Amino acid sequence: MFVAQELRKKNIAEYLLYMWQIEDTIRAFGCSLSRIRREYIDRFDYTDEQKEEESDWFGNLIRMMNQEGCREQGHLQINKVVMQQLQELHAQLLSSSKFPFYNSEYYKVLPFIVELRNRGASKDENEIETCFNSLYGVMMLRLQKKEISPNTQHAITEISTFVGMLNDYYLKDKQKPLEFD
């Protein structure tokens, strides 16, 4: 909860990836709050009050996962909304002539998006989801200490730059709405 709150303010892209990881953490503990409390939260150097807050947060996420039918897979609605906001901003940035650097970065990363989609990314997901899924997948590979090919590393570097740019525009838009054509 504490990490999520900070990331949401500073970096919406990292926030979303973190929340996906939290969803997977909850699944890894069988959606059991008592296990999460005992085997996960207790490992952190939190005060008793912070542990209680963190437990409440996880409890709410578990309840939402149960209600929304994403105990096994998929994402919470709160995370889908963030993704939709990023996709909508992406579309606005692309359609405006006021953001040529964003457009340039998008066309630089587009071949990687196309390749990822050809390799089996869901045809239902939008381009921003494809980028996030690739970033999350590589993040998981790194956590498992698995090798990442040079080609994949190059693609991820480009996608990270692009998503970073989208993140920056998202934060700017939240501070003061961007003006489009």
pLDDT band at 93 (very low <50, low <70, confident <90, very high): very high
Q: Specify the pLDDT at position 123.
A: 67
Q: If you average pLDDT over every residue of the chain, what do you get?
A: 95
Task: Decide if pLDDT at 39 tops 90.
Answer: yes
pLDDT band at 122 (very low <50, low <70, confident <90, very high): low
Task: Decide if pLDDT at 54 tops 80.
Answer: yes
Joined together, the tokens standing for residue 156 give: 């991820």
Distance CA 64, CA 175 (A): 29
What tens digit of pLDDT does each residue of 1-37 get?
889 999 999 999 999 999 999 999 999 999 999 999 9
147 in Cβ contact with 110 (< 8 Å):
no
CA distances from 151 to 134, 154, 156 (A): 13, 5, 9
Joined together, the tokens standing for residue 41 give: 């939260």
Tell me the percentage of the chain whose pLDDT exceeds 70. 98
pLDDT band at 118 (very low <50, low <70, confident <90, very high): confident
2 in Cβ contact with 50 (< 8 Å):
yes
What tens digit of pLDDT does each residue of 56-70 get?
999 999 999 999 999
Tell me the percentage of the chain whose pLDDT exceeds 90. 92
Joined together, the tokens standing for residue 142 give: 């790194």
Distance CA 68, CA 117 (A): 27
Closest CA to 169 of 158, 161, 160, 178: 178
Average pLDDT over residues 40-49: 95
